[in-house]
């Protein structure tokens, strides 16, 4: 009778957000990422003091900055991982528009910091590299287009995503930033393959990439110099690759000891592009294998969970994100051991860099949101969506 007079009090039967998030989260991936960030701080303590001294900063200036940016990255990772796939998609589309505009403004407002490539906006107290933020939001946006093309009477999303990829690759190559251009192209290619691209088209794309590399070699002295250095049988011991190769050789299985490495004294990028050389010299092959294992767990765990996903958008976006993440790590370590030409690419969560670590946090947050355990429904329900 009381309910009839005053109205029933609504009772929430849904699970609270935080417990549901924790229950459905891929804790292995999250744990590996946090460990990688901790390893990055540890290596930063070894690699960055000599550079800080040369630049007139306190010994742990770069470590403190990395800890600050890393904290922002972890907060962003947790916040994004709590979102629904639809919210992540909307965030990615808006983020892509902002990153694309920033990329277009780089030739006019950007700076190269004396490195020969205009990739950053200088804010005085910090710098921003738009291409780092572009990668994850582009992957999700392109996956949305490809997934939409699979709907009955859907738009030509595959063609749109290809056109978008072509424009981005051209903009990145103009900086020049061929490493990021290759990552964008690779992420799109993986998603396009998963979406059902014919092998003939993929072979044709590989041919176009080869042709583009030849044109870049002839047109860019910066690109040609790196390729020539990679193909040269002799390694100049006074170059970055020479110092890194010697450091890895000296480290052996268990390293020369904490703080005893010498590569950080000679390499200006020891705390960024060649951080794995510091790990190999001071901690040896053991730590390097542990780092590789952590990246492997993230990639394999994520792909395993995505294989059970029936939503084409989630499957494509998650695959593109984890492929880009894993290949970036592989390229960074491959350059250090001279398996690949020098790219100027960071090791996710380990190398120093505010833009890199925050963008990686956003990317992994998106991946965690896509790989959360969720009801899949019957296969008939999925097929019935296009009717």
3-state secondary structure of 153: coil
The one-character DSSP state at 128 is E
Q: What is the pLDDT of residues 34-78, one digit of tens each?
A: 999 999 999 999 888 888 888 889 999 999 999 999 999 999 999
Model pTM score: 0.89
Q: What is the pLDDT of residues 92-148, one digit of tens each?
A: 999 999 999 999 999 899 888 877 778 889 888 788 999 999 999 999 999 999 999
- Model confidence band, residue 222 (pLDDT cutoffs 50, 70, 90): low
* pLDDT > 90? residue 286: yes
Q: How far is CA 181 from CA 132, 168, 206, 212, 285, in A?
A: 11, 7, 14, 11, 31
Total length of the chain = 387
Residue 122: its H or E element: strand 121-122
């Amino acid at each position: 009778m009381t309910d009839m007079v005053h109205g029933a009090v609504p009772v929430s039967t849904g699970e609270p957000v935080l417990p549901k998030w924790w229950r459905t989260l891929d804790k292995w991936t999250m744990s590996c990422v946090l460990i990688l960030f901790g390893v990055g701080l540890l290596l930063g303590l070894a690699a960055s003091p000599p550079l800080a001294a040369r630049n007139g900063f306190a010994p742990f200036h770069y470590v403190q900055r990395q800890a600050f940016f890393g904290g922002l990255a972890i907060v962003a990772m947790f916040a994004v991982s709590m979102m629904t796939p639809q919210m992540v998609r909307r965030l990615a589309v808006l983020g892509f528009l902002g990153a694309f505009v920033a990329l277009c403004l780089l030739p006019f407002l950007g700076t190269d910091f004396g490195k020969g490539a205009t990739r950053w906006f200088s804010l005085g107290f910090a710098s921003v590299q738009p291409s780092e933020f572009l990668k994850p939001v582009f992957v999700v946006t392109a996956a949305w287009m490809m997934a939409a093309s699979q709907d009955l009477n859907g738009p030509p999303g595959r063609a749109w995503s290809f056109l978008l990829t072509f424009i981005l690759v051209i903009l990145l190559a103009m900086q020049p930033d061929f490493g990021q251009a290759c990552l964008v192209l690779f992420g799109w290619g993986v998603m396009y393959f998963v979406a059902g691209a014919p092998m003939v088209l993929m072979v044709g794309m590989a041919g176009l990439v080869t042709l583009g590399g030849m044109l870049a070699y002839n047109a860019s002295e910066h690109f040609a110099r790196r390729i020539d250095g990679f193909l040269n049988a002799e390694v100049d011991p006074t170059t970055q690759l020479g110092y890194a190769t010697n450091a890895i050789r000296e480290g052996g299985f268990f390293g020369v000891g904490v703080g005893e490495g010498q590569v950080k004294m000679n390499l200006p990028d020891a705390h960024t592009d060649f951080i794995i050389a510091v790990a190999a010299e001071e901690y040896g092959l053991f730590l390097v294998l542990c780092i590789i294992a952590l990246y492997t767990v993230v990639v394999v765990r994520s792909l395993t969970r995505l294989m059970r996903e029936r939503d084409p958008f989630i499957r494509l976006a998650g695959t593109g994100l984890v492929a880009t993440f894993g290949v970036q790590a592989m390229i960074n370590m491959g350059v250090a051991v001279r398996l690949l030409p020098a790219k100027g690419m960071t090791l996710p969560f380990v190398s120093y860099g505010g833009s890199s670590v925050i963008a990686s946090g956003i990317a992994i947050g998106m991946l965690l949101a896509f790989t959360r355990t969720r009801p899949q429904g019957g296969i008939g329900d999925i097929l019935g969506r296009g009717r």
